[in-house]
Structure 1
Amino acid sequence: MASIGQSTKPTGNKDALIRARQRAALVPELLVDALRIVNTVMAGWHGRKKRGIGETFWQYRPYTQGETMARIDWRRSARDDQTYVRDQEWEAAHTIWLWVDQSTSMLFKSSAAPVSKESRALVVTFALAELFARAGERVGYPGLLKPSANRKGAERLATAFATQTTAMPDTPSFLQVQRFSDVVLVSDFLGDTDETLAMIDDLASQGARMHLIEIVDPAEEDFPYGGRTEFIDPETGTKLTAGRAEDWRDDYRNLYQARRHALKARCRAHGGSYTISRTDHLASETLVRLHGFMTGNPAATGKMAGAS
C-alpha cells in the first residue's frame, strides 16, 4: 500500500480523471454525512479563546495598574470590592490548510469496515472545513481553494471537489503556506515514511504547525489474515503471497506501529498533533480529538466524546 510518499503521477492521465469523476459522484452523500457530524460536535467546538480585538465577550478579569480605564466594566466591578475589566475574544482570522490523500490505496475497505478509507477521509475533511469556517477561520486547500473565511466551508470545498476538471497531484504543494498557519493532512500515511518526515520538517521550518490524521482500516492495523493469502499493492499491482499469513502478524504489526510512532513523535516535536481515525469507529471521535490538540486542551476531548 502506498500513500502521499509516492512520486506524483501525471495529472492528466485517463485513470486519474476517471477516479476524479467517481469521487465527484460520492461528494453529495458525503457532504450530507459531514454536516450531520458537524451538528453533533458543534456545541463543544469553539474558537481559540485568546484575549484580543473582537466583539465577542470572553471573560472578566481583575484590573491591573497601567490599563486604560475605558476597559473597566463598572457594573461588574460594583458587585464586590474588586475592579474588573472586560476582555473580548481574539477574532483575527487564522489560516488553516486542509489536504486529503486521493491515491489508490485510500479505496481500500475490508469486510470489518463500514466505509472505505477514502469515504472517511473526505467526510472528515468536509466536516473540518465546516467547523473551522463556522469558527471564523480562513480555510484553504492547496491547488484547489485559496484561503477564505466563507462560513459555508464544507459546501465550498465539496463543490470544488465535485467540479474538478483535472486530477489532483498525489502530493500536496505548500508553497502558499505562510507562517503561523495550521496544516491538516488526512491520509493513511503508508507511503515512504522518510519523505513524510521531511515534509513535516519543511513545514515546521516555514513556521507552520502540522496535524496528521491517519485514516486506517481495521484490517490494516489488526492484520487478521491467516493461511495462504495473496496481498496486492493497490498502487502498483504487485502481488505477494504468504503461505501462512499468521506467521507474518507480529513482524507486520511491529513495522506498522514503528511507522506510526515515528510520524507521531515528529509532529509532536514541532508542536503539531497526530490523530488516528479507524474506519470502524465514529468519525466524530476524530474531530473531537483534533479539536483538543489544536486548542491546547487534549483533556477536554473526553467531555465532547459523546458526539456521534
Structure 2
Amino acid sequence: MASVGEIVAPTPTREVLSRAQARAALIPDCMVEARRLANTVIAGWHGRRKRGIGENFWQFRPYVDGESLSRIDWRRSARDDHTYVRDREWEAAHTVWVWADLSPSMMYKSTFAGVSKESRALVLMLALAEILARSGERIGCPGIMEPIAARNAAERLAAALMHSPSTDGLPDTGMIRGNSDIVLIGDFLDPVEKVMDRLGPLARRGLTGHVIEVADPAEELFPYAGRTEFTDPETGEKLTAGRAETLKDDYARAYAARRKTLAGSLRHLGWSFIAHRTDRLASEALVAVHAYLAGMPALKAEGARP
C-alpha cells in the first residue's frame, strides 16, 4: 500500500531479507508491549454479554411460558409477585481473525511519531489476541495461523509471524467461513475501490469486519516545505516537489476524502472503522475495537477517530 514520506526503498534483491530480519527483531518487543497494553485494558473486559450456556450470572428476567422450570430463580421470585429466570452469560468460543499489514509502507516512521506504523499494528494485533484469548475466543490469522483457543494464542501468533513469508496487500481469506469476526489493521492507502473489491465479498459471506487504519501524523499533517523528494516504498517511484508547501491543501483534501469514502463504504457493509495515529496512545484504538467486538460501539475511545 502506497505511503507518503522520505523512505528510500531498498533494492529488490535485498528487500525480502531485510524486511524479514527487521520484523523478526521487532516482534519480541511488540509482544512485550502488547501484554503491557492488554493488562491496562483487561479490567474493562466483561465478555460478549450475550445470554447463553455459561456459568457467569448476567441478569434476571421474567419467566416465559414454556421455559424449563429448572431455570427459575425461586429466591429472587419470592421477593415479589413475579417469577424470574436467572440468565447466564454466553461463553461459547467465537472465532476472531486478526491481521496486520506488513507491507513496506508500514515501515514508515516520521519524526513526529515514536513508533513505525508496522510496530503499532503488530502491538495492536497481539494485544487484541491476548485479550480475546483470555476470554476463551478462538484466534486465527489469515495465511499465518489457523484458529486456536488457547491462553497463549498471542504468543503463538507472534512466533508464527516471525517465521511467516512477507506478503503485500490484504490477506488471502479463502479459508475463512461466515459467522466470524475479522480485524484488519493497516494504512489502507490503496485506492478505496481496490480495498472494497477485496473486503466486499467477505461481508457478503457473513463476516463481521473491523478496520483499524494506522496513520503516521506526517501523513495527515503534511509538514513538508521547500524542495522535497517523496518515494513510494513499494514501487520505488519518486516525486520531487520544488515547493512542497504548495501541495499541502490539495493533499489534505484528498487524504480526508479518501478516509471519509473508505469509512462510509465500510459502514455500508455493516463494518466498523477506526482511524488511529501513531502519536496517540495504542490503548485508544484497542479499547475502540474491543467495544465494537463486544457490540458496544458507544464505548469507542476518544482519540480513535471515525
TM exceeding 0.5: yes
Contact 2:229 2:240 in 1 (8 A): yes
Contact 1:129 1:139 in 2 (8 A): yes
- Structure 1 counterpart of 2:208, which letter? R
Q: CA offset at residue 169 of structure 1?
A: 4.8
Higher mean displacement: 288-297 or 184-193: 288-297
Partner of 2:187 in structure 1?
Answer: 188
Could you tell me how far apart the structure 2 residues matched to 1:263 and 1:129 are? Answer: 25
So what's the TM-score if we normalise by structure 2?
Answer: 0.91
Q: Please tell me the root mean square deviation across aligned C-alpha atoms, in Å.
A: 1.9
Partner of 1:55 in structure 2?
Answer: 55
Structure 1, residues 86-126: CA drift from partner, whole Å, max 9, x if none?
11111221111111111111111000001011110100010
Partner of 1:226 in structure 2?
Answer: 225
Contact 1:17 1:167 in 2 (8 A): no
Structure 1, residues 135-191: CA drift from partner, whole Å, max 9, x if none?
221110111110111122221111112233x33454301111111111111110112
Contact 1:131 1:153 in 2 (8 A): no
Contact 2:101 2:168 in 1 (8 A): no
Partner of 1:96 in structure 2?
Answer: 96
Q: Which runs of 5+ in 2 are unaligned?
A: 4-11
Contact 1:200 1:266 in 2 (8 A): no
User: 2:300 is paired with a residue of what secondary structure?
Assistant: helix
Mapping of residues 245-256 of structure 1, within 5 Å: 245-256=244-255
Mapping of residues 131-170 of structure 1, within 5 Å: 131-164=131-164, 166-170=165-169
Partner of 2:36 in structure 1?
Answer: 36
Mapping of residues 147-296 of structure 1, within 5 Å: 147-164=147-164, 166-296=165-295
Are residues 1:85 and 2:62 paired?
Answer: no
User: 1:280 is paired with a residue of what secondary structure?
Assistant: coil
Partner of 1:127 in structure 2?
Answer: 127
So what's the TM-score if we normalise by structure 1?
Answer: 0.90
Q: Give the count of matched residue pairs.
A: 295
Partner of 2:106 in structure 1?
Answer: 106
Q: CA offset at residue 267 of structure 1?
A: 1.3
Q: CA offset at residue 207 of structure 1?
A: 0.9
Identity of aligned residues (%): 55
Could you tell me how far apart the structure 2 residues matched to 1:245 and 1:22 are? Answer: 31
- Structure 1 counterpart of 2:91, which letter? E
Partner of 2:9 in structure 1?
Answer: none
Could you tell me how far apart the structure 1 residues matched to 2:265 and 2:227 are? Answer: 37
Q: CA offset at residue 286 of structure 1?
A: 0.2
Partner of 1:8 in structure 2?
Answer: none
Contact 2:48 2:295 in 1 (8 A): no
Q: CA offset at residue 14 of structure 1?
A: 5.3
Higher mean displacement: 32-41 or 72-81: 72-81
User: 2:146 is paired with a residue of what secondary structure?
Assistant: strand
Could you tell me how far apart the structure 1 residues matched to 2:20 and 2:299 are? Answer: 38
Q: CA offset at residue 82 of structure 1?
A: 2.2
Could you tell me how far apart the structure 2 residues matched to 1:272 and 1:83 are? Answer: 39
Contact 1:126 1:153 in 2 (8 A): no
Q: Which runs of 5+ in 1 are unaligned?
A: 4-11
